[in-house]
Amino acid sequence: MPKMVLTVPPELDGRRVDRFLADMLPQRSRTIWQREVKAHQVKVRYHTAKSGDLVHTGDQVEVEWEDTPAVGPDLDAVTEIDSSLIVYQDDAIIVVNKPRDLVVHPSRGHWEDSVVHRLHPLLGNDGSHFRPGVVHRLDQNTTGLLVLARNESARSKLSQAIADRQVHRRYLAVVHGQITPLTGRIDAPIGRDTKNRLKMATVLSGKQAMTRYRTIALTSGYSLVQLSLDTGRTHQIRVHLSAIGHAVAGDVVYGGGHPQGLLGGQALHAGQLAFSHPETGQPLCFTAPLPWDWKELGFLSWQVVQESVFEEEEDLLYPCQKWATTDLLKTWAGYCGGP
């Protein structure tokens, strides 16, 4: 029976215990965690948790769960591996460059194809139903880097590292207009949209959320922005940028519309991922080129604002390759990592 002890970080203070577990361990759904709470498999501050209990900063949450049979896709029947997704792999982890229009794990409406499907023979059976190895996610139409765990030890350590903000994810986005100031942060709580429950929105009753941004290049009507997250709310970047009037280009859900030449979805890309290896402690950093369907936007007349695509704060701790903005713009209109 798998067991784990998690420490509640400040940004999850006051969260219901089932929501806390779903945020910390996204390889299992909130519904499954609710079931484990009711089955007395969860303890908070060494006492058995009850439905509706809240967790607070510094609390120790101990959880055990039963491995139950999966109902849905037979992942064990998957034998082929899509090696084109793999950026790096070893015995403990796989780093993936996810393409557009691909979900991370099987879910309703996506039983036939996902990152998990395509790499399942390389992922351990950790009893997490349809999410083996998953420690964080990207939206279906967001491209770029994520890390998967190949065994329970790596998954546990990566989950804790994410909770402790020791996994650094930096994104690139083309947004409408010019953000003022050019560098700053968006600090606004996020919750369900009261008018459309399928969307998220900035709402006073929502969860704390903070996004940092740097404008790295400008062109008529658009900005190329680098973003990083202090929290990890659903659709956080898209919601925050939409809330300040600078929606991600191509994001039809949150008001971005489709600029001419952009194909398939929003221009949001997880371009850099840095963390310490869960088994060896070795600092790692990966960078993914822009997706091919951004290519036409590269022909626009861009003006450089920042010399470096990514800020160099994490570069001091991790071996991140320096990416000059001028180099990005020179190659953007040509080969952009696509076919």
Q: Which contacts qualify for 307-313: CB closer than 8 Å, 24 or more apart?
A: 308/216, 309/172, 309/216, 309/226, 309/271, 310/170, 310/226, 310/271, 310/272, 311/170, 311/214, 311/226, 311/228
* Entry field: residues in the chain: 339
**Poorest-confidence range of 36-45, 96-105, 251-260?**
251-260
Domain 79-163 has CATH 3.30.2350.10: yes
* This prediction's pTM: 0.76
Residue 70 has pLDDT above 50, yes or no: no
Residue 15 has pLDDT above 70, yes or no: yes
Q: Where are the alpha helices (DSSP H) in the chain?
A: 17-24, 30-38, 115-119, 152-163, 236-243, 325-332
CATH architecture of 168-332: 2-Layer Sandwich (3.30)
Give domain limits for the chain. 3-64, 79-163, 168-332
Specify the CATH number for 3-64; select among 3.30.200.100, 3.10.290.10, 3.40.50.300, 3.40.50.800: 3.10.290.10
180-239 per-position pLDDT tens digit:
999 999 999 999 888 887 789 999 999 999 999 999 999 999 999 999 998 888 899 999
Mean pLDDT of the 296-306 span = 88
> Is residue 139 annotated as part of the catalytic site, yes or no?
yes
Same fold, 79-163 and 168-332: yes
Residue 78 has pLDDT above 70, yes or no: no
Residue 22 has pLDDT above 60, yes or no: yes
Please state whether the peptide bond connecting residue 181 to the residue before it is cis, i.e. omega within 30 degrees of 0: yes
Given 139, 164, 193, 315, the catalytic residue: 139
